Chain A
Amino acid sequence: MWYFVSPQIVFGEGALDAIDDLDGQRALVVTDTTLVELGLVGRAQAHLNKAGIESQVFDAVEPDPSVQTVRQGVQVAQEYGPDWIVGLGGGSPMDAAKAIWVLYERPDLEPAEINPFVPLGLRQKARLITIPTTSGTGAEVTWGIVLTDTEEQRKMGLGNRENVADIAVVDPAMAAGMPPQLTADTGLDALTHAIEGYTCTWHTDMTDGLCISAARRVFKYLPRAVADGSDMGAREQMHNAATCAGLGFGNALASLAHAMGHALGAVFHVPHGRAVSLFLPCTVEFAARETPGRFADLATLLGCTRAEGKEAARALTGYIRDLCREIGNPTSIAEAGVEHAAYEAQLDKLVDDAFNDTQIVSAARSPSYDELRQLFLCAYEGGPVEF
């Protein structure tokens, strides 16, 4: 027994128009200052206006949103009394919006209490719309929430099935202005979601097809979207790929690359998509020793090889690294600019944090502490995994 949860998804060119038909009184738009300056928040507000919904903006969300920022947002929500919360942005604003919504509805909870094991009883005060402005996070359709505990420099994996958005508005025009580096990083996040969603132990018949479809689209369209941001065909395919991957991994789980990427991101502030992609090749090779058939199937379905076993995993990792090179992204943590001495100094913390990350529980091959340490070392150099 398992669940598949999803918002109503409005997608494609002109999807923002769906906001015009909403019923409501007041909306709190949770976002960041850059998106306000770029005019993307104003576009969403104009549609809310057409629906007769007044709006207020909370734009204090930082990358890797903190618990403190969420508390500020909750206070704003409590004072304003919205019946819609709108999460507009990349993963950070959308995750912050989810947490603000939950705590606005349930002020008796602490952020760390947002877990999947208890009923929350949401939708008494407001509902949630998500509007992604990047093509990668999938947060528009997932119920997971990642917040950062700034005191412990640790990311917290939270969420409950109830806090999935009511409506996800997946309009490629909202991602059209992404610069090439952001397009590349977020696109690799979508690829990592797709591959880990397909290969983790929590994958299901309901999620497999979404993950494969998403991974194919990323390999085909990400180079085009990075090379020419005005290629709206590629933009739309990447936007849809990210949402499909979100549905795929969001109803399964991610895996080791995410556990390790969360640890790296929290300490060295490497952008999330880049961080997880740096660990994807080595974790694929590592996990494929446990479930070689699954990885061989994936490699075949992606069209990168018809080989089997270790050779298939090696071909798949080569395919991933080729994509990274093609879009100008690093293929090792050294190439990503993390100093070796600093990495060594933080290695114990990185291993500890990844070892206790929620995403590790669904790894196709569960690493020992020493194996995890070795994986961090392999990822630093970008070398093959021989264990």
Chain B
Amino acid sequence: MPLEFPSDEWIKELSNQLNASESYERSAKDWEGDFVFVVEPDEAYDATSYLFLGLFHGKSPDAAELAGEDEREAEFVIRAPFSAWRQVIEGKLDPIQGMMTRRLKLQGNMMKIMRYPKAAKEIVDCCTLVSTDFGS
């Protein structure tokens, strides 16, 4: 059954997919740094949502929808309107290209992320594995 995006169930399923991915584990084996994904309102979505994804040494130990951005501390925050997130999840927008064109805005140490490009790609690949209901 498709999971609503954004939601607590959706981010937990992404976490499960990452934990099942050998490629992600290999590519992020030294990675330490949690993310908050901020889903901003646009014409297709009228709220602001916050999804926390814990990432540590090739695994995702924790994931949850948050009530606010500051509920959990995260090293990285990525903000984008709902429609841009949808394009990323559907594999239509490469997240690195999205950040280069500022459609996705990153707070955090980009130098660190640049050393793990394959891991970033694996996260997106796992997103596409989550059966998702975008509400339209």
A binding-site residues for B, Cβ under 8 Å: 1-3, 110, 112-113, 115-118, 157, 201-202, 355-358, 360-362, 366, 368-369
Contact = CB atoms under 8 A, between A and B. Distances in A.
Contacts of B96: 361
B118 A361 contact: yes
B100 A116 contact: yes
Given A112-B111, A113-B111, A202-B94, A361 B121 contact: yes
Given A113-B111, A115-B110, A369-B26, A361 B120 contact: yes
Contacts of B106: 117
B117 interface: yes
Grouping DSSP codes into helix (H, G, I), strand (E, B) and loop, the B interface class, with mixed when no group exceeds half, is helix
Nearest to B26: A369
A1 B103 CA distance: 10
Given A366-B121, A369-B22, A369-B23, A115 B97 contact: no
Given A117-B100, A361-B117, A355 B125 contact: no
Contacts of A2: 97, 101
B48 interface: no
A306 B111 CA distance: 45
B16 to A, nearest CB: 19
B31 to A, nearest CB: 11
Residue in B23, B26, B114 with the greatest tally of chain A CB atoms within 10 Å = B114
Contacts of A113: 110-111
24 contacts: A1-B101, A3-B101, A113-B110, A115-B110, A116-B100, A117-B100, A117-B110, A157-B114, A202-B94, A202-B97, A355-B118, A356-B115, A357-B117, A361-B94, A361-B117, A361-B118, A361-B120, A362-B94, A366-B23, A366-B118, A366-B121, A366-B125, A368-B23, A369-B22
A1 B92 CA distance: 11
Nearest to A161: B100
Contacts of B101: 1-3
Grouping DSSP codes into helix (H, G, I), strand (E, B) and loop, the A interface class, with mixed when no group exceeds half, is loop
A253 to B, nearest CB: 9
Given A2-B101, A118-B110, A366-B121, 16 more contacts: A1-B101, A2-B97, A112-B111, A113-B110, A202-B97, A355-B27, A356-B27, A356-B118, A356-B119, A360-B117, A360-B121, A361-B96, A361-B118, A362-B94, A368-B26, A369-B22
Contacts, number: 56
Contacts of A1: 101, 103
A355 B26 contact: yes
B27 A358 contact: no
| In the complex, the 7 A-B pairs of residues with the closest C-beta atoms, listed nearest first | A369-B26, A361-B117, A116-B100, A368-B23, A358-B117, A112-B111, A361-B121
B43 to A, nearest CB: 17
Contacts of B97: 2, 202
Contacts of B110: 113, 115, 117-118
Residue in B103, B111, B118 with the greatest tally of chain A CB atoms within 10 Å = B118
B100 to A, nearest CB: 5
Contact of B114 (A201, A358, A360, A369): A358
A106 B64 CA distance: 40
A201 B94 contact: yes
Nearest to A359: B117
B121 to A, nearest CB: 5
B35 to A, nearest CB: 16
B99 interface: yes
B45 interface: no
Residue in A115, A201, A360, A361 with the greatest tally of chain B CB atoms within 10 Å = A361
